[in-house]
Every structure is written in C-alpha cells, then in structure tokens.
Amino acid sequence: MPEAALSLIFRAKLRAALKKAGLLQQLPRKVWKKDWVVHCQAAGQGRQVLHYLARYIFRVAISNSRLESFENGLVTFRYRDNRSQQLHRVTLPAQKFIHRFLLHVLPRGCAKVRYYGIWSPASRAQLEQARTLLSAATTITCCRRSRA
C-alpha cells in the first residue's frame, strides 16, 4: 500500500472521528496542514501475514513468561526474531517498555478473538456431550463397516 495515500486516508479518518466526538477544536489547525507520516511495513503474503496478525488477535503482544526481570527500573524480556528464528534479550527502561507494549493494545471496539458456542469455557458440559455423541456415532459407523 502506498504510504503517502495511507497517510492521507488515516489523517482524514482521524479528523472525521474527532469532529464527530466534538474534539476537533481542541487541536491547532496547523496539525491538519502538515504532511503526516504513517509507518507502513510489508508483513509478507498469504499464510505468513495470517500468522503475523494472529499473534495480535488471539493473545497479548508479550506474555508474562517472556518477562525475565524488572530491576532498578529496567525490564528485560525475550523475543524471537521472525527472520532468523533466534531468541534475543532486550533490556529497556520501564517507561519505554510500557510505551512499546501499549502500541500493541487493540483500540476500543476491537475485541480479541474468544472462544464461543460449545468451545466457550461456560459450555464445557455441552462440549463433553457433543464429544460423547460423536464418539458413539463413530463407534456405530465402525461396527457397521466391520460387519460388511
């Protein structure tokens, strides 16, 4: 996607949302006259992009197990380089770590994917019942095949 076009679209959508919320007047007019820069980076194609996006839809950006230490205002954590698959350690001031973490929080109105229907934790009894019925159906099918 062309970054210049994306910048214009993003700026226009943000301005429209601020106007709708009644907050547009709180910003200086010169903000809207400047060129905006949007960071746009290719994530690959096909399955690679789905894997990349799934990390943000299904779970948090960094799990507690990857946090190694918090000492003297510094946070050390591990991450895996997607290109080389090598593990790396990074130590950042707590404020910078929190800033980076919050860049990955989904905006209001966007929900993480959760299990629903019989896969929901609240429906465990129904899931077990479905498994039992499927198991019985499989057993009956197998028995009919073996008789033939």
User: pLDDT tens digits for 54-108?
Assistant: 766 666 777 888 999 999 999 999 988 878 889 999 999 999 999 888 877 766 7
Residue 15: domain span = 1-41
pTM for the full model?
0.43
In a 13 Å sphere around the CA of 5, the CA atoms on its Cβ side amount to 2
Judged against a pLDDT cut of 70, whether residue 11 lies above it is answered with yes
Average pLDDT for 25-52:
80
Please check whether residues 53 and 91 belong to one and the same domain: yes
Q: What is the dihedral of CA 55, 61, 63, 66, to 10 degrees?
A: 100
Structure confidence at residue 112 as a pLDDT band (50, 70, 90): low
The count of domains in the chain is 3
Please check whether residues 91 and 120 belong to one and the same domain: no
Please check whether residues 97 and 126 belong to one and the same domain: no
Q: What is the dihedral of CA 99, 101, 102, 104, to 10 degrees?
A: 130
Please check whether residues 35 and 96 belong to one and the same domain: no
Please check whether residues 137 and 147 belong to one and the same domain: yes
